[in-house]
A and B are shown apart, each in its own frame.
Chain A
């Protein structure tokens, strides 16, 4: 007995030691370590994002061209489905989706986030949602989130405005934590370029949730919540009526219209044809519609005004003549006899006929190839300007000072620079010192390697109409927030040509309309100045090019039109330009010219259409 009495001490000691060890550890996590309290708060308090309303986009006259519509994400919490099974047939019928889609999405949700509400069907339009909401109580595992999508009441200007898409992983990683999975960001156009202004600032509310993420109340009565801040509105430079009119004129044709206000560089119209209804790229069918558009052989998603390049054709004769006069090679009233073509050793550039040209005005209004080739040859081969290479570089620098061969810096991503071949380029092809003006003579009439975007053409005519001064083209007029206007700085540039030569050229462009190559587009109600062009197209019919501005004094609009496969500049691009000018200046088209408008509306030049015929 006594022996055993002493042995029980061992077990008693073990009990005390066990208790002591447990209490020491409990003391350390309950009293010493405070981190568990923070973790408990993070567990229970869920930060919910409150999305700000995205800034509106207006046209230059204050018309809203992009607004926000409410739509609904239908969310499901996967782990509740075992308790509250989904009546899939009814669900699919109410929301107009296929059961295959639903089961596929459910699999994804099961894998990604089964413990909290995850979007099952995104961006359901209000009309469908209203019907579903009445039955919502029948689906306890289902909830919804209100979201906004963009709406485009004018259905136009898709390429300028751009569209929204879900933030990519790259975008999220580079946003300093601003974007999260599922956020929408501008992908193209103004939506992308001015994303940081338009998006506003997210707000947050803190809610108490259980482990399933179901709300159990608001934390601290919302004292720590943060209200979202709405995005800035953008007032674009576009005139939406002119824009949609341009899109109508260009329907069933490929090409571009760019209209610029010469005194500011503001883009008044920016048509990329074929256009598409921007409403297609919002809402729940966005993905499907995007696929359809991207597979369309006419490539409606291409932003032609800044990313398509064409040989500028005869419109190039204008800056070329100005640069040559500026180097004192010829004066504007130098007279010339065209013999039906430009002849040189091994070269022959055809002209439209035999004509005597007393000055540059008559040369340009008839778009004489021989004249332009001759003066170009005279400059490049002029001994006063050094070697042909040095002289060519002087000519090229002059041309580039009109905005060719480099990006103009419009507020849109994806601008091409075009091309004005460098002397080095010719050296590589022909050998240094082994080429002369006649080797590269086609550049004098805007053919060959020289390439320009429609925007560059519009910019050039704006510069000419403004005696050489032009502004970096811009698609916005103001950024506004709570009635305050912020105007972007307008950067001005000047072509390297003495002002004294511009009146001759402007007169030549006015004469082109009165009695020259553009006379078919003339109107009795208003005067305008223009130049036709035809871009040689090795793949098919030539492209019709036309540049114009109006009025003759204090021009308000400069426009460049390119109609692919439209033939001569005067055929399609000319009438379209003149109608654009009339629409902008007079708001309406006079009854006498309605036939012209009809002809343009109805012309179908799309490749598929021609094949059918």
Chain B
């Protein structure tokens, strides 16, 4: 550390600028879907009016956080985590259901979605835990504790039927990988995803035959190259048996555990089901809106599909349609580009942290935002099943915007103080 920073607070401007632009684009997109010829900028009866209010609130809280002591954040992280867990649990008692998922608490002035804040709380709690000098990720006990910190909120949210938000917690795998969980976790994940996809589209017995042939080839290969390695042979045979069991399990879970509408969503993505009026309606309309945007879009306020209500949930989960329809592929590049800049800068920031707290925290929010970004846009263009999670900074919604703003604010704050801590 030869470089000495004179200025006390050095804020990472590229992250802040990307964040502000994304928020501004979000506001314009929400405005465009609701604009009906007359508008008043602070009209709180409209979604764009409310979003503007939340942008203001977020800004104030952002500045307050920059003024806080980082240690304060660190010290309150467990408390925050426990409060959020309690709030999550209380949704079972006082929650309101939306889209069949139970995930709101009506506070009167706003509808609080604890699941939005649970991601933030998990990030700070995990960072705090791994920041402890006595904690070593290589230690099996500590590793298990880390998993449990992530698994508890994930489990509660899943129990509330919000599979989309629960899925986001899988992003923490990137953090664990960074903290010493081997790459094999990711390779195994990829292998399982691939085999799951095949299990859903292919006949079960055909796939099992294919697996057996694949592993037999590997065995022959091993036998020729590395004779007399009994351990390796046992490993390969074991992997083969596990794969077959997994194929059967995926098939069983898909048909017995998943509800019909969830099966339908997956089948539409896999191309096994064509249904533009029923379950596939949202996706079909979403793709029409995006596709009809063409290279440069139809122009601001000229998006027919999003303006005339063809795309459902168009200010929240499907907000990307509005952008892609009005500004076309150019707009898509801008949005994707802004997220890439934001995420890459955050990873760079994580790498330069001197504390485990800063590093783990920033990587956690990178993972969370990355999953949101991939799943949200992926679903609007039909790459992924329709899973209702918002596009960070852009989708309409107070809880979501506030939660993501705080995530960024804390990252900026931690990063700005990285040279000051011992």
Residues of A in contact with B (beta carbons under 8 Å apart): 4-5, 7-8, 10-12, 14-16, 18-19, 21-23, 25-27, 29-31, 33, 35-37, 39-41, 43-44, 208-212, 216
A36 touches B336 (CB 8 A): no
**Interface on chain B toward A: helix, strand, loop, or mixed SS?**
helix
Contact of A43 among B305, B333, B350, B383 (CB under 8 A): B305
Cβ of B348: which chain A residues have Cβ within 8 Å of it?
8
Q: Which 4 A-B pairs have the closest CB atoms?
A: A36-B291, A40-B292, A210-B308, A211-B309
Query: Contacts A22-B378, A43-B305, A211-B308 known; A35 to B291 CB distance under 8 Å?
Result: yes
Across the interface, A4 reaches (CB within 8 A) one of B174, B178, B336, namely B178
Contact A8 B308 (CB under 8 A): no
Contact B370–A15 (Cβ < 8 Å): yes
Please report which residues of chain B, range 348-388, place their CB below 8 angstroms from some CB of chain A when the two chains form the complex: 348, 350-351, 359, 363, 366-367, 370, 373-374, 377-378, 381-383
Q: A10-B186, A23-B333, A30-B295 are in contact. List 14 more A-B contacts (CB 8 A).
A: A11-B363, A12-B347, A15-B344, A15-B347, A22-B332, A29-B381, A30-B291, A31-B329, A35-B291, A41-B292, A43-B310, A208-B304, A211-B309, A211-B310
Chain B residues positioned under 8 Å from A30 (CB to CB): 290-291, 293-295, 324, 328-329, 332
In the bound complex, residues from chain A placing their C-beta under 8 Å from that of B305 are 40, 43-44
Chain A residues positioned under 8 Å from B350 (CB to CB): 8
A23 pairs with B332, CB closer than 8 A? yes
Min Cβ gap A218→B in Å is 14
With A30-B294, A30-B324, A44-B304 known as contacts, the answer to whether A25 contacts B288 (CB < 8 A) is no
Which chain B residues lie closer than 8 Å to A39 at the CB level? 288, 291-292
Decide yes or no whether B63 CB sits under 8 A from chain A: no
B330 to chain A, nearest CB (A): 9
Contact residue among B324, B340, B383 (Cβ-Cβ distance under 8 Å from A15): B340
B291 and A18 contact, CB distance less than 8 A = no
- Measured CA separation A548–B378 after assembly (Å): 87
For the residues of A in contact with B, the DSSP-based class is: helix
Partner of B291, one of A10, A14, A21, A29: A29
Which residue in B177, B287, B292, B309 is a CB contact (below 8 Å) of A10? B177
* Count of inter-chain pairs, beta carbons less than 8 A: 120
Per the bound structure, the CA–CA distance linking A520 and B81 in Å amounts to 114
How many of chain B's residues have a CB under 8 angstroms from any CB in A? 48
Tell me the complex Cα distance, A231–B357, Å.
83
Q: Pick the most buried of A14, A26, A29, A44: most chain B CB atoms within 10 A of its CB.
A: A26
Q: Bound state CA distance, A30 and B331, in angstroms?
A: 11
Q: Is the CB of A12 within 8 A of B378?
A: no
Q: In the complex, what's the smallest C-beta–C-beta distance from A177 to chain B, in angstroms?
A: 21
CA distance A139 to B410 in the complex (A): 53
In the assembled complex, the Cα of A19 lies from the Cα of B367 at a distance in Å of: 14
Chain A contacts for B292, CB-based, 8 A = 36-37, 39-41
What residue in chain A is nearest B177 (Cβ atoms)?
A: A10
Q: Which residues of B contact A15 (CB under 8 A)?
A: 340, 343-344, 347, 366, 370
Chain A residue at minimal CB-CB distance from B294:
A30
Task: Point out the residues of chain A lying under 8 angstroms from B307, CB to CB.
Answer: 210
Contact check, B288 vs A23: say whether CB atoms are below 8 A apart: no
B183 within 8 Å of A (CB atoms):
yes
Q: In the assembled complex, how far is the CB of residue A488 from the closest CB belonging to chain B, in whole angstroms?
A: 48
- Whether the Cβ atoms of B381 and A22 lie closer than 8 Å is yes
B289 close to chain A: CB less than 8 A: yes
A8 to B324, CA, bound (A): 31
Bound-complex Cα distance A23 to B377 (A): 10
Q: A10-B177, A14-B174, A22-B377 are in contact. Are A31 and B295 (CB under 8 A)?
A: yes
Residues of A within 8 A of B287 (CB): 29, 36
Residue of B whose beta carbon sits closest to that of A18: B374
